[in-house]
Amino acid sequence: MKNDKKQLWQALKFTLFSASAGIIQVGSFALMELFIKSYWIPYLTSLVLSILWNFTLNRRYTFKSAANVPVAMAKVFGFYLVFTPLSTYLGHLAEGKGVNDFIVLAVTMIANFVLEFLFCKFVVYRGKEDTLETKK
């Protein structure tokens, strides 16, 4: 039972931090959309900003991991080496078919949220959760 509660709390923290990263992504995307009419430039820039924010907070507070930061970031980078070109290409196709940019962004962000949580939980921080010493 205690483990279930921990898992739920972990998922909730990941959700909240991802929501804050989402705010950063949508805000920066919206601001750039005012000046840049192509989908992919605002999308990629806002995605990078949200990744850095989300990685930092989730490593420290959600997974509480002392895992080697460059190695953990390299694993996340690997995830995004696959996710980013695929989501950028599909977003570009959807935009070309007349789908609203913000709908494309929302669908992409939901897919990113679910896939990134699973990747972090079972690949990046596997066996390295709760290893970070915190000040009390």
In-domain check, residue 132: no
In-domain check, residue 114: yes
Q: How confident is the model over 102-129, as pLDDT tens digits?
A: 899 889 989 988 999 999 999 999 999 8
In-domain check, residue 135: no
Domain of residue 86: give its range.
2-124
Residues in contact with 17: Cβ distance below 8 Å, sequence separation at least 6, in sequence order: 53, 54, 57, 58, 61, 62
In-domain check, residue 88: yes
In-domain check, residue 43: yes
In-domain check, residue 55: yes
Q: How confident is the model over 73-105, as pLDDT tens digits?
A: 999 999 999 998 999 899 889 989 999 988 998
Q: How confident is the model over 45-83, as pLDDT tens digits?
A: 998 999 999 999 999 999 999 889 999 999 999 999 999
In-domain check, residue 94: yes
In-domain check, residue 133: no
Q: Given the structure tokens 């596997």, which residue do they identify?
A: 126
This prediction's pTM: 0.79
Q: How many domains does the chain have?
A: 1
The one-letter amino acid at 91? G
Residues in contact with 113: Cβ distance below 8 Å, sequence separation at least 6, in sequence order: 15, 18, 22
